[in-house]
């Protein structure tokens, strides 16, 4: 059975102006992927990611099946890019409960909000003083019902 939701979180900065810039770049990248989904370079890049995921989840569905599903969703604009920060309202972004979502935001993500099926986190924020960032402070954003064998967290080595 295919999950009804898959979330990807990007925490680039505490500055809200950076969130919209990241959202625009992610949107452009997703458009590029939808246009180039049938090109060998795109397929090969996806297959490399698939192989990495398969190394921790050997019973992963076949590549062709997953790639066809993702390509279809990209081509039909079914991947949402959502910004959640101190300027936007959580009510404006309730879409993260279903579908494929890329959620971009800052500190407000760690204040009592959790995301279902949060599988990938790109935490690139760096504080002026590294001790200021404590993963425990941001734990709520990390979610609660993920598949541990598919979980990926990317962050600078200093963190």
Q: Write down the domain spans for the chain.
A: 5-154
The 10s digit of each residue's pLDDT in 120-133 is 877 776 666 555 55
Structure tokens at 116: 């279902």
Supply the pLDDT for residue 36. 95
Which residue did the predictor score with more confidence, 76 or 2?
76
In the structure, what pLDDT confidence band is assigned to residue 1 with cuts at 50, 70 and 90?
A: very low
The lowest-confidence range among 11-20, 68-77, 107-116 is 107-116
pLDDT tens-digit profile of 137-149? 555 555 567 788 8
């Amino acid at each position: 059975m295919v999950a009804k939701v898959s979330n990807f979180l990007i925490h680039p900065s505490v500055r809200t102006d950076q969130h919209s810039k990241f959202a625009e770049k992610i949107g452009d990248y997703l458009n590029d992927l939808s246009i180039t989904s049938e090109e060998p370079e795109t397929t090969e890049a996806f297959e490399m990611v698939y192989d990495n995921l398969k190394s921790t989840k050997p019973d992963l569905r076949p590549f062709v099946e997953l790639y066809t599903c993702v390509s279809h969703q990209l081509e039909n604009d079914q991947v949402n890019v959502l910004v959640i920060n101190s300027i936007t309202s959580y009510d404006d972004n309730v879409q993260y409960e279903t579908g494929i979502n890329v959620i971009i935001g800052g500190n407000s993500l760690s204040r009592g909000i959790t995301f279902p099926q949060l599988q990938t986190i790109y935490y690139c924020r760096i504080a002026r003083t590294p001790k200021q960032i404590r993963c425990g402070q941001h734990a709520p954003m990390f979610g609660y019902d993920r598949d541990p064998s598919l979980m990926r967290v990317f962050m600078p080595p200093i963190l």
